[in-house]
Amino acid sequence: MRDEVREKIAGEICLSDEPGRTIRKWREQFKISQQELSKHLGVSPSVISDYEAGRRKSPGIVTVRKIVDAFLEIDEKTGGGVLKQYSLAAKTDSIISIKEFAVEVLASNLVNQIEGENLTPAISLDRHIHGFTVIDSVRAITSLSSFDYLKIYGWSSQRALIFTGVRFGRSPMIAIRAHPLKPALVVYQKPEQVDELAIRLAELEGIPLVKSQLAIGDLVDRLQSLG
């Protein structure tokens, strides 16, 4: 499992058009500060800052390996939380599509991409999204166990959860409110009618609630093109 994770992250950084931003995304994913990472690597914090900001030439594969190994070693010292989360990320029947972005995406850009309407305008869309999960809400309600619920968050809860088959939108928001993990954004795909209770619950949680009228295939294609 460790080697699989190592190869995934290293490959994503090396293949990224903006490797510095991808390094930053993964560092934040592991909840590691620039200072902590630089100390582990034996370099100045400015070196990490320069890589992430693109001020320094993109690191070669040897440096990328060292950075990725540092992520994993620091994670293991604190209980291996990210590695454990990866082991939970297998797809379930209720997940239609899931993706981790190579670089973070602004919520406002994601909403524009799917022609979304923000139903909670008082909640800012100025937040980073690290990935998305498209969920069949009917299957989720009827078959998703508490263990499977963790899988919809993939590598990070800093993601958009998109629910299909929504009638009034109460059940998804009640489930989110009841669980300690919270997404950064919730989207309803072609809901029949969004209940005021769903909007109120989203406001209480501080989670933007958005609806999109795109067909599911078009919506997934547009999400896949991000990040």
Complete domains list, the chain, with CATH:
2-85 (1.10.260.40), 90-224 (3.40.1390.20)
Q: What is the pLDDT of residue 17?
A: 82
Spatial distance between the Cα atoms of 137 and 17, rounded to a whole number of angstroms: 35
pLDDT per position as a tens digit, 158-189 = 899 999 999 999 989 998 888 888 999 999 99
Q: What is the pLDDT of residue 166?
A: 92
Q: Residue ranges of the chain with pLDDT lower than 70?
A: 1, 85-92, 141-150
H helix count then E strand count, the chain: 12, 6
Sign of CA dihedral 9, 2, 154, 180: negative
**Threshold 0.85, pTM exceeds:** no
